[in-house]
Amino acid sequence: MSGVVFDLKGRRALVTGANRGIGLATARLLAEAGARIAVHFHSDEVLAQEALAGLAGRDHCLLQADLADLEEARTLADRAADQLGGLDILVNNAGIYEPHDITALDPNEWRTAWQRTIDVNLHGPAMTIAAAIPYLEREGGGYIVNITSRGAFRGEPEAPAYGAAKAGLNSLGQSLALKLAPQGIHVLNVAPGYVMTDMTREYLVGAQGEAIRGQSPHGRVAQPEEIAQVVLLAVSGRADAMTGGIVDVNCASYLRP
């Protein structure tokens, strides 16, 4: 989007999982556009402090929370609004991908893997959204962007809870786009394919890397900054008609009907 200037001065954004990958790229772009950022992280405070220090502008803040703990997820928006003086944008980016073979795990292992994946990738974002809505309403409207996955459509045979959670997040976002429209709140889902991040690096640089890149006719995967550009457009006020949509960003590696 070279040459296009986005002005988010005065806007306040909570970005979950903002200490690395897509979340970090998004926090950087929003900060460059003038927004103040609440950088959420789960466990790596050193990395989070580095992310915070690298943001353009000033008066950003750092917030730790385990989104698998639904009470922590519920209070995250309150803490962000308290630190920033309000909230205009919520980007639900944090997520986990943990392979869990339903044919190999015993029932207790399966239940544990399923529960944590669903909690972090769906229940946690849902609780954060619910707590954020009053702040967005107070400002006369705002934006919720959910980072989902192409796995919601093509399936995730090695991590079925991941695919199920992302499908649920898509559906939640679309439901809320309808429900929250009268309050002026816009909701968009962004569904990447493989993105070069810490979470996928072992796959992309390993033996599977060539095959993964070969899923795209361009022979590549996306970069975090490309996903962040879509988020920036979504919250810029210049493309509000996208609300309720699911934007695929997967290098044509999966084309859904």
Residue-wise pLDDT for 223-257, tens only, equals 999 999 999 999 999 999 999 999 999 999 999 98
In which residue are the tokens 């392979």 written? Answer: 99
- Rounded to whole angstroms, the maximal C-alpha distance in the chain is 55
Lowest mean pLDDT, pick from 1-10, 88-97, 150-159: 1-10
| pLDDT tens digits, 49-75 | 999 999 999 999 999 999 999 999 999
Classify residue 220 by burial, with Cβ atoms within 10 Å: 0-12, 13-18, 19+.
Answer: middle
Q: What tokens does 230 get?
A: 């879509």
In which residue are the tokens 């897509």 written? Answer: 22
Rounded distance between C-alpha atoms, residue 239 and residue 148, angstroms: 19
Q: Once rounded to an integer, what is the mean pLDDT over residues 178-199?
A: 95
User: Among 97, 135, 162, 194, which one carries the catalytic annotation?
Assistant: 162
Integer-rounded Cα Rg, in Å, for the chain is: 17
* Other C-beta atoms lying within 10 Å of the C-beta of residue 179: 12
As a dihedral over the C-alpha atoms of residue 132, residue 133, residue 136, residue 142, rounded to 10 degrees, the angle is 100
Q: Tell me, what's the pLDDT at 58?
A: 97
Q: Once rounded to an integer, what is the mean pLDDT over residues 89-95?
A: 98
| pLDDT tens digits, 143-169 | 999 999 999 999 999 999 999 999 999
Greater confidence, 31 or 207? 31
**135 is annotated as an active-site residue:** no
pLDDT greater than 80 at residue 4: no
Q: What tokens does 105 get?
A: 């795990």
Please name the residues in contact with 155: beta carbons below 8 A apart, sequence gap of 6 or more: 163
Please name the residues in contact with 159: beta carbons below 8 A apart, sequence gap of 6 or more: 97, 98, 99, 100, 117, 151
Q: What is the full DSSP assignment across 173-238? A: HHHHHHHSGGGTEEEEEEEE--B-STTTHHHHSSTTHHHHHTTSTTS--B-HHHHHHHHHHHHTTS
Q: Tell me, what's the pLDDT at 5?
A: 82
Q: Tell me, what's the pLDDT at 202?
A: 86
Ordered domains of the chain (ranges, CATH):
12-248 (3.40.50.720)
